[in-house]
Amino acid sequence: MVENWIKVRDDHMPLKFVKENDEANKEVTFRLSDELNTNWCQNSTFSITDLRGRVEPWLTSLFQSEHLSLLVGSGLTTAIQYEATNNTSNAMGLPSLKTTYKDKVNTAVKESIKNTGRGEENIEDYFRVINDLLRGLEILQQVEEYTTLKNELNDILYEFTESISTIENNIAIAENDQRKSAFNKLVMFLMSFASRTGTRDRLNIFTTNYDRLIEAGAELAGLHLLDRFVGILAPIFRSSRLDLDMHYNPPGIRGEPRYLEGVARFTKLHGSIDWVESGGDIRKIGIPFGATDFRPYLSAPGLSADATNIMIYPNSSKDRETAEYPYVELFRDLAAALCRPNSTLVTYGYSFGDEHINRIIRDMLTIPSTHLVIISFDDKSERIMRNYTEMGRTTQISLLIGADVASIEPLTNYFLPKPSIDKNTIRMAELLKQRYEQPTKPYEEDN
């Protein structure tokens, strides 16, 4: 039986509940697992309509915060891939090392995840340790060992980028109706966040994913993504990016231009499979969504790159300054977007396995007017609930965890706000709330 967790509005603790039945022609009902009674359900049972009435208005109000950010983990890619193909695959599998240093690398990886509290290793940990080892061999002038290990790293990186592209390809070539349905859900998901009036600060989208699923969904939705890249054919990453935005002049109106709707700022915190280091610059190259072979694009005139030049975290086998660039700029953007008053952060499919991101989230919650919304399919690693407890700011955290509520279909159908920026709709919702919404009662608990 799938367990779900919810904590919204005036809930002072997470409530665990399970689906009670899903019979034909009957509305789905849920039952609280604990011996608790709340003011919004009778006899510890409630329908999905009751749950929607509890969650959707709360998320709608939070999504209209002065500053809104969305942090997406691998869970979104997994959800859309499953919708499109009825199957999932993981690109984060561990590499099979052949180098004579494989035992030392494995030991260093295990020690690294122990120190960071990640719980289990993934391929990023191996990239980090192998790059450190390469730097050491370079300093020691162990040319033969350095060359052998770098070639092996090159092969691992190719396999990794191809596995990510395979996920994209599986979605792109899926059966037509299923693919359309999956992308429709992705568009609804993105526009629920991006549908903000022009007077609000732009939505900030952050992701730890290397694939281009968000970019593909934004194209279909007509959502304009602003990132740090400047150019057309092979855009260059610029540290000097100003607060660029998109405006329009209303016909027949003189005065200041207005903000264009459907615009979001976009940051890929760990890099991307189409980012390449070339000639001291970081360039975004035009690899089609779902391409199965990267080598022709890397060997294009003016690039002359190999897999070690692909900017995924940690990216480079060169010096420390190169390894930190451009990621130091990206994390500066993350901290600047989150750590300010009246800011809301929503995480989806993020398992809280990156301590460098968790640290910024903890700093954000030290500002009393900020709020964190955690939406996740599950918490198998138990990192979400552990961080929820350790952060100590439970009144500033909302939870929506479990397959029955956080899967992409029920989430977009019932719980996320309607993707609309129509002012009349907003005014109508405010009037209905003022006239008909019942006042909330204090939280009650059975003795």
CA distance 426 to 198: 14
Among 230, 311, 212, smallest CA distance to 270 is for 311
Among 292, 330, 296, smallest CA distance to 311 is for 330
Amino acid sitting at position 441: K
Q: Report strand pairing: 67-72 vs 203-207.
A: parallel
CA distance 235 to 281: 10
Strand partners, 223: none
User: Hey, what are 403's tokens?
Assistant: 């397959």
- Please state the domain extents for the chain: 3-86+176-270+328-436, 102-173+282-318
User: Hey, what are 229's tokens?
Assistant: 């890249």
| pLDDT by residue, tens only, the chain of 447 residues | 678 999 998 888 888 888 876 555 567 788 888 666 677 776 778 888 888 989 999 999 999 899 999 999 999 999 999 999 998 876 666 777 777 788 888 888 888 777 766 667 778 788 888 888 888 888 888 888 888 888 888 888 888 888 899 999 999 999 999 999 999 999 999 999 988 877 788 999 999 999 999 999 999 988 999 998 988 888 999 887 667 888 888 887 777 788 888 899 999 999 899 999 888 888 999 889 988 888 888 888 878 787 778 888 754 444 444 457 788 888 999 999 999 999 999 999 998 988 889 999 999 999 999 999 999 999 888 889 999 999 989 999 999 999 999 999 999 999 998 876 555 555 666 666 666 555 544 444 444
CA distance 334 to 328: 10
Three-state secondary structure readout of 163-222: HHHHHHHHHHCCCHHHHHHHHHHHHHHHHHHHCCCCCCCCEEEEECCCCCHHHHHHHHHC
* Topology annotation, domain 3-86+176-270+328-436: Rossmann fold (3.40.50)
My answer on whether omega of the bond before 326 falls inside 30° of 0, hence cis, is yes
